[in-house]
Amino acid sequence: MRFRCHGCGATVDAGNALPFRCPNAGVLGDDVDHVLVADDAGATFPRGTEQNPFLRYRTLLSPYRVARAAGLTEAAWTEIVETLDAALVAVDGRGFRITPMAEQKGLAAALGFSGPLWVKDETGNVSGSHKARHLMGVMLYLRVLERAKLPAGDGLRARRLAIASCGNAALAAAVIARAADWALDVFIPPDASAAVKHALQDLGARIAVCERRPGETGDPCVLRFREAVGHGAIPFGVQGTENGLAVEGARTLGFEMAEGFSAAGVAPAALFVQVGGGALASALAQAFEIAVRLGVVEKTPKLIAVQTTGCAPLVRAWKRLDGLDLVAAARHRSRFMWPWETTPQSLATGILDDETYDWWAVAEGMRASGGRPVVVEEDMVARAHNLARLHTNIPASATGTAGLAGAMSATDVRGPAAVIFSGVER
């Protein structure tokens, strides 16, 4: 089971070495966008009825493929998934199940939408958002390495997990780490909410508050996280640049949507996705590309990445990419992506990443599907949040409804549209 870097082409055999950061990242001092991407060659789309996405879509997941290649049986995989799932139920009151997706007629009417509006509801997922999907993929891989005693797993148990986040991703990491009984460090900014800090501590995570140091650019939490990883911590965040496996786990969300649309006989014209670090949109683009290739749906919806005026590094990159070859652009990252210069602000606090770390894969997904990014004003972010509250019973945060703000702004898009409500209101 191999991972391949979309920037430099390096490959990593996930049984022998950890497919987290590309082995060439930071070594050559180059400007290449290094991200390891799971190879799905030879996979077929499963047609099972399991309700746990990590069982249902197992043949498309690298941890399962590593497990089987190492001689573990189907039963062993099921046991690994179900044991972790039972522990999640004990910690968080729920495990992974296919999440609901439905047409929201009342909301579409309130918005004056011409076409149907479909909403995938991730607010009831483990820890209250889709973020847990990213990290379950990583944890399953770690478990497989241990169980199969693969070389890549040597000495792994002694290493702590690490993440830079103060929101949904941190909470998801803490829930999964607790369920797996694995020590976790969370790097948070000084203004992280007290409620999140308490929740993290209650889950047994160790928190490190990261002040911005004079002359430093980029998110200080990400910088401290990278230092910890440099000292041996396992990257347990949701950025593909730091851990290629993290993106893959959230492909399950796209697989669920593709199957759901296929069953409903609906071909969505556009998929609006709120974008911070870019791992979610990147995973969805990959999942739909696989679903089309493996015959589940005919066409990928136009991927429309939604950012706010307070922080829109992907939109800036997209403008610079105009007319350029994407493969070549991956070798000149800094021409397209660098930290947002001013302190990012928005009601949608969860998408204020200084950089769209996974910008390249999102740009690739937008190009391939005929999509584009949109920037939304703050009043639209607030309106989308209010309307979602009034016209659905999904308790999503303003971050989680920011994709809807994009759908409200992109008035030229016709036909069925899809959005993801994630991040329960806390």
Ligand X SMILES: Cc1ncc(COP(=O)(O)O)c(C=O)c1O
Q: CB-wise, 277 or 371, nearer to ligand X?
A: 277
Q: Is 167 in the site for ligand X (CB under 6 A)?
A: yes
Distance between CA atoms of residues 308 and 379, nearest Å: 10
Task: Extract the tokens encoding 425.
Answer: 């209101």
Distance between CA atoms of residues 130 and 53, nearest Å: 12
Taking CB under 6 A as the criterion, the residue among 288, 399, 405, 416 binding ligand X is 399
List the interface residues with ligand X, window 348-367 (CB under 6 A): 350-351, 353
Q: Is 36 in the site for ligand X (CB under 6 A)?
A: no
End-to-end CA distance of the chain: 39
Q: CB-wise, 129 or 243, nearer to ligand X?
A: 129
- From the CB of 259, what's the least distance to ligand X, in Å? 21
Q: Is 129 in the site for ligand X (CB under 6 A)?
A: yes
Q: Is 346 in the site for ligand X (CB under 6 A)?
A: no
Q: SS3 of 120, please?
A: strand
- Helices 74-92 + 62-69 axis angle, to 10: 140
List the interface residues with ligand X, window 263-292 (CB under 6 A): 274-281
Q: Is 422 in the site for ligand X (CB under 6 A)?
A: yes
Distance between CA atoms of residues 102 and 121, nearest Å: 8
- From the CB of 188, what's the least distance to ligand X, in Å? 13
Q: Is 104 in the site for ligand X (CB under 6 A)?
A: no
List the interface residues with ligand X, window 223-252 (CB under 6 A): 238
Q: Which of 351, 353, 342 is nearest to 402 (CA)?
A: 351
In this structure, what DSSP letter does residue 224 have?
A: H
Specify the length of the chain in residues. Answer: 426
Considering only the stretches 42-50, 85-93, 164-172, 328-336, report the one whose residues sit in contact with ligand X under the rule CB under 6 A: 164-172
Q: CB-wise, 1 or 361, nearer to ligand X?
A: 361
Distance between CA atoms of residues 18 and 70, nearest Å: 15
Residues in the site for ligand X, rule: CB under 6 A?
Answer: 129, 167-169, 238, 274-281, 350-351, 353, 399-400, 422-423
